[in-house]
Amino acid sequence: MDLRGDPATRKGAVARVAEQLGINPETLRNWVTQAEVDAGVRPGTTSAEAQRIAELERENRELRRSNAILRSASAFFAAELDRPHR
């Protein structure tokens, strides 16, 4: 991020650093972009927000599954109550 901030070293900074680290330049570019978002320098979804969204989506799926189970169970027991008993 320091190299990107300096106009003299900005051009190709990510590619040079990625080569030095032995990683794909696009991977490093994504990491830098996310770090800028997390720092509030760039607009976007922060890592904390993304984690919270994932947790809420997981909870939502679980609640939908529970509701489906409860609907099935209530339909089953309602049908049992409607049957004539011997």
Q: How far apart are CA 40 and CA 2, in angstroms?
A: 16
What end-to-end distance do the CA atoms of the chain give, in Å?
79
Of 30, 62, 59, the residue nearest 47 (C-alpha): 30
- Regarding whether 35 and 74 lie in a shared domain, the answer is no
- Regarding whether 27 and 51 lie in a shared domain, the answer is no
Pair of tokens at residue 35: 């770090």
Domain range for 23 is: 1-44
Q: How far apart are CA 10 and CA 7, in angstroms?
A: 5
- Regarding whether 85 and 51 lie in a shared domain, the answer is yes
pLDDT at 82: 78
Place of tokens 């509701």: 67
- Regarding whether 59 and 33 lie in a shared domain, the answer is no
- Regarding whether 40 and 2 lie in a shared domain, the answer is yes
Number of domains observed in the structure of the chain = 2
pLDDT tens digit sequence for 50-75: 999 999 999 999 999 999 999 999 99
Evaluate if residue 34 carries a pLDDT over 90.
Answer: yes
The H-assigned helical ranges of 1-86 are 2-5, 13-21, 25-39, 47-82
- Regarding whether 57 and 39 lie in a shared domain, the answer is no
- Regarding whether 50 and 23 lie in a shared domain, the answer is no
- Regarding whether 32 and 1 lie in a shared domain, the answer is yes
Who wins on pLDDT, 84 or 26?
26
pLDDT at 81: 80
- Regarding whether 58 and 39 lie in a shared domain, the answer is no
| CA angle (52 as vertex; 47, 53 as ends), nearest 5 | 95
